[in-house]
Structure 1
Amino acid sequence: METRLEVRLREPNPLFTRWLERWLREAERRQQKSQFRLRQALESLRSYPLPLSSGRDCSILRGFGGTLCQLIDEELRQHRGLQLAPQEDVARAQYEQQVQEVVRQVQEQQTVHQKRLVKPRKPTKKDLAELAAQEERVRQVEMKPGAFQLLLLVDTQETSGKNKRVLDQTRSYLESLGARHEVRRLTIGDFLWVAQDSEGNELVLPYIIERKRMDDLASSIRDGRFHEQKHRLQQSGLRNIIYLVEDYGDNEQLGLPLDSLQQALANAKVQTGVQVVRTENHFRSMSYLAAMSRSLGQIFANKRLYSVDRGQIDKCSCLLMDSQLGLLKFRALYEDSAKNAQLTVREVFVQQLLQLHSLSLERAMAIVERYPTPRCLLEAYEVGLDPKQARLLLSSIPCGPLERPLGDKISQCLHEFYTTHFR
């Protein structure tokens, strides 16, 4: 709790007060009209709490006209000519001394008061929940072979559906196929698997599925969500990323040519290593998930699973023939993959680049490898380059596995975007 201090000098302007008192006595003795103005000025000066340095400073007070201020300045010059201590120095010294004394007394009182009254604050439910979440994240989890079950997690968006009049058949299909599942809100992907033990611990298997219907795929490519989602999936720490793509009727009237969609899927498979699985309809997609659940249950049944941090996931073995595997905790994946999680400048720069036309994830990553932040790119434009060289600065950057150059057109577009000043 902060304490507001107010320090007032008993007599902030002793010299000015003494001179006004002397002039007032003389005016009263001579019965001059100036005595009324002098009395008003003296009362104003005594009420003013701060030191004044000159007669000119006194003009802010009532009763101090130009003549009276000039008289004070003349008296002050004579006073200083006698090598006496200036009015402001005397007042300032008094002011500082009193301030230090008051501060010292208040600090002593606060120390005594805190020692008497300080009591440990009772933690709130929010504090306890945050503490439990922090302890759960750092706690090591180990699951021995046969001591856990696999559970398929389904994102809530997969069961609500965009059209309320059409019920999504995801749950009913999975139930009819005997797939053990649970509906939850996922911050990344549409389906993933966790290993659950009897104590409620959950470790995420290194498989995540993004389900898209062909019309939704076309829409996500047009508005840039496809590249942004692909980037977030690659940053999740789960090695096996699967795009489960369903046909939309005869795949007509999708908003983009079918060849363009197939090319986008082929590029994602070749350049980023994601797996693409095509199905004829929703039921076939759920059948694929049920079959995956059975296969993963057989593969992981005799393995020892233990928890690792996201930064350690690359150092752990990921071979399915190994007897033990390091996996992420579900809570850690959920919190770290949230869209509103704290992002680095590099990650924000990548997402910004992905919003630009013709910039794929591979091209954006290649640019960020060379220039990690927008500031680095702007500084590169400004250092010793003529306009033509600046426009072609990025054209030779190699992109993707084939290391093809970024090209003049994209380089010029980026230069124009980042150097144009909008008003």
Structure 2
Amino acid sequence: MPASEPVQLGRKRALPSCPNPLFLKWLTELRDEAKEKGLKIQYTYQKAINSLNKYPLPLQNAKEAKILQNFGDGICKILDEKLQRYYRENGPEASIHCLAKRAPPPGRLDNNSLAPSKKKNAAEDPAKDKGGGGGGGRKKKREYVPQKRSGGYAVLCTLYRQSQIPGSKGYMFKMELQTEAQLLCDKSFTVPELGSKYTAWSSVSTLIQKNLVTKTHNPARYSLTEEGLALAERLESAEQGTKAPEGDREEEEGEKEEGENPGVVDLTCSDEDDDEKEEERIHPAEKLSCAAQTGSEVDERSSAGKTQDSHTATRKQNGGCLLPGTYDIILCVDFIETTGGSHHRKQELVKELQRNRVNFDIRKLNVGDFLWVAREKVAPVPGQLRAPVGRELVLDYVIERKRMDDLCGSIIDGRFREQKFRLKRCGLRKPVYLVEECGTAASHLSLPETTLQQAIVNTQVVDGFFVKRVQDVRESAAYLTVMTRYLTKLYQNCTLTCRSRELEGDLVDEEERGIRSCSLISFAEFNHGAIKNKCQTVREVFARQLMQISGLSGDKAAAILEQYSTPHSLLTAYERCASEAEKEKLLSSIRYGKLKRNLGPALSRTVYQLYCTQGALS
């Protein structure tokens, strides 16, 4: 700007009111009516209200609103019917872009919506109205600081503590974040309180909206922004006993006065924020009166808080480890193993485990049929319905169970090789194949029994899996029982630490030095990382393509990927070859597996023909 031009100072222009107040009023009525009846369509109406508030142009009829998000045929039809009724009552020339002066447009704050006392004060003191001296004008917006032991507070502190761990991956999945944050929060992250639909997790949307937490990827990864890191650091220092962060008390009281004005309806907030904002707007005097009326409840809650604080302090003192005696070994059974198919046979497995008094849990496993977790022992908190959820670390043993008929089907449709590939890269070091013999039933299968037996031998010798053969479901349950007791004894004196799958390449192979490794993956990270249909990298898709070639196992595909990680890099290498014969032998000298054998000219020629043949393959 040139120096000769004076700098224009003044108040910011007030936001214009919604140009479609009549539609906004009707949508608000529909939302409130649905909310009173407990209907889920209230959320659809709220989304339509948010879209309409952002639209800056006047609408002539409801059909024009179809260009907006969350305006479907149903909502447009309702608005059109209300519009026709409005024209019949007020005449065809009635304006739909303004409301009577006695009531401000719903969903917007307007200058006319000030309380009478405030308008009177503004008239008596013009200096305040102009934002001049005397400390008048619009107050500075109060900084958002979540209350101690609220959901937002627990999430910020948990993400901050996780970021301070050496070698931290910088984010947390939803399940592990809920598990860790539960210890710092009085409300449950999974179960709403009686008479409410909100949990402590509802406050995460507020943290994202206020740019304190970011949510990326699928499955979702949660991490702190720079602003969130600064606020979480202050909260953590307050937890350690230094000065606690405080908001602007005067602004808080000012927000309360606005919240008491019955003429203002604020529709800019999401439903998930209502509980937290109502709690923030309670006046300190009202808090004291509530405390006097429900003293016993407050005492119980404070004692519960002290119990969780002591538990959190103990966990922090242990460095986030699970010490011997602080965890139980639990067998996890995939729910597919107990439902569907031969229901009687699958229920027999559960009955056998119960008869053997095995401590097991049925849940969804994204890879494998059985595994074991070390679950932290957490004492119930007085005054809470459910005990806090303890951390879970996955032991390095995972079992894939196969009957002979299932093995036959999986070999035919290609699942057998894919499952072995996924088991190898799931992050657990001790994969096991539990094979149930069919006896005489094997003669009725579509593949010869010798072929199935050869596949089992290859699984053990070539792929490196431990194979356990059993006769029936009862022997499978017996094996799982023995393994559970063996692992309980094996880990009874171990201090368990949590490791990340991303750092597996940096871990020292302790087994080669005769030391049993006790660094384990959290169950949440393991199960999220094993999702079958998650977003895949080009390298992963390339590996799957290669494994569709007959005779090309997972070890061979991994060896090719070490040299050529993408199809583009492989095709570039083919282009650099001088002759056709050189292209066919390009991959023949690649070594794979523990014995470091060559891939061979036959497979090399097959891969070349697959990726370089013009037109259809014969």
TM-score range, shorter chain: 0.5 to 0.7
CA distance in 2, matches of 1:232, 1:201: 25
5 Å-filtered alignment, 1:333-372, equals 333-372=526-565
Provide structure 1 residue ranges, at least 5 long, that are not aligned to the other structure.
1-114
Aligned residue for 1:272, secondary structure, equals coil
Aligned residue for 2:435, secondary structure, equals strand
Q: Which residue in 2 is equivalent to 1:146? A: 325
CA distance in 2, matches of 1:396, 1:273: 23
Are 1:283 and 2:360 an aligned pair?
no
- Distance change (3 Å), C-alpha of 1:316 and 1:329: farther
Q: Which residue in 1 is equivalent to 2:430? A: 240
Of 181, 201, 206, which aligns to 2:360? 181
**Is the CA contact (8 Å cut-off) linking 1:246 and 1:279 kept in structure 2?**
yes
TM-score by length of 2: 0.45
For 1:191, the aligned partner's letter is F
Aligned residue for 1:179, secondary structure, equals coil
Aligned residue for 1:243, secondary structure, equals strand
CA distance in 2, matches of 1:356, 1:298: 44
5 Å-filtered alignment, 1:222-233, equals 222-233=412-423
CA distance in 2, matches of 1:164, 1:170: 10
**Cα distance per residue 1:374-397 (max 9 Å; x no partner):** 111111111133223222322332
5 Å-filtered alignment, 1:115-126, equals 125=202
For 2:443, the aligned partner's letter is E
Q: Which residue in 2 is equivalent to 1:24? A: none
CA distance in 2, matches of 1:323, 1:235: 20
Aligned residue for 1:151, secondary structure, equals strand
Of 387, 391, 409, which aligns to 1:219? 409
CA distance in 2, matches of 1:391, 1:345: 24
**Is the CA contact (8 Å cut-off) linking 1:353 and 1:364 kept in structure 2?**
yes
Aligned residue for 1:327, secondary structure, equals strand
Q: Which residue in 1 is equivalent to 2:607? A: 414
Q: Which residue in 2 is equivalent to 1:28? A: none
TM-score by length of 1: 0.65
CA distance in 2, matches of 1:165, 1:175: 15
For 1:325, the aligned partner's letter is C
Q: Who wins on radius of gyration, i.e. which is larger?
A: 1
Aligned residue for 1:195, secondary structure, equals strand
**Cα distance per residue 1:58-85 (max 9 Å; x no partner):** xxxxxxxxxxxxxxxxxxxxxxxxxxxx
Are 1:267 and 2:446 an aligned pair?
no
Of 248, 252, 256, which aligns to 2:447? 256
**Is the CA contact (8 Å cut-off) linking 2:337 and 2:346 kept in structure 1?**
no
Q: CA deviation at 1:406?
A: 2.3
**Cα distance per residue 1:247-292 (max 9 Å; x no partner):** 0132323322222222222222223321000001111011000000
Are 1:172 and 2:351 an aligned pair?
yes
Of 581, 588, 594, which aligns to 1:395? 588
Aligned residue for 1:142, secondary structure, equals coil
Q: Which residue in 2 is equivalent to 1:5? A: none
- Distance change (3 Å), C-alpha of 1:225 and 1:323: closer
Number of residues paired by the alignment?
Answer: 308
Moved more, 310-319 or 375-384: 310-319
Q: Which residue in 2 is equivalent to 1:332? A: 525
**Is the CA contact (8 Å cut-off) linking 2:459 and 2:465 kept in structure 1?**
yes
CA distance in 1, matches of 2:434, 2:607: 33
**Cα distance per residue 1:150-187 (max 9 Å; x no partner):** 11000011111324576542211111111110100001
For 1:194, the aligned partner's letter is V
**Is the CA contact (8 Å cut-off) linking 1:302 and 1:323 kept in structure 2?**
no
CA distance in 2, matches of 1:403, 1:316: 22
Of 163, 179, 194, which aligns to 2:373? 194
CA distance in 2, matches of 1:328, 1:407: 37
Q: Which residue in 2 is equivalent to 1:43? A: none
- Distance change (3 Å), C-alpha of 1:328 and 1:364: same
CA distance in 1, matches of 2:443, 2:370: 27
- Distance change (3 Å), C-alpha of 1:164 and 1:192: closer
CA distance in 1, matches of 2:403, 2:329: 26
Q: CA deviation at 1:205?
A: 0.7
Aligned residue for 1:342, secondary structure, equals coil
Among all aligned residue pairs of Structure 1 and Structure 2, give the percentage whose two residues are the same amino acid. Answer: 38
For 2:561, the aligned partner's letter is V
**Is the CA contact (8 Å cut-off) linking 1:236 and 1:337 kept in structure 2?**
yes
Q: Which residue in 2 is equivalent to 1:159? A: 338
CA distance in 1, matches of 2:222, 2:497: 18
**Cα distance per residue 1:298-323 (max 9 Å; x no partner):** 11111111111113345166559858
CA distance in 1, matches of 2:575, 2:471: 53
Aligned residue for 2:469, secondary structure, equals strand
Aligned residue for 1:296, secondary structure, equals helix
Q: CA deviation at 1:198?
A: 2.4
Provide structure 2 residue ranges, at least 5 long, that are not aligned to the other structure.
1-138, 147-151, 153-200, 214-219, 225-315, 379-389
- Distance change (3 Å), C-alpha of 1:133 and 1:391: closer
CA distance in 2, matches of 1:295, 1:313: 25
Structure number with greater CO (CA < 8 Å, separation at least 6) is 1
CA distance in 2, matches of 1:143, 1:313: 20
Q: Which residue in 2 is equivalent to 1:16? A: none
For 1:284, the aligned partner's letter is E
Of 198, 202, 209, which aligns to 2:399? 209
**Cα distance per residue 1:78-108 (max 9 Å; x no partner):** xxxxxxxxxxxxxxxxxxxxxxxxxxxxxxx
Aligned residue for 1:188, secondary structure, equals coil
- Distance change (3 Å), C-alpha of 1:274 and 1:126: farther
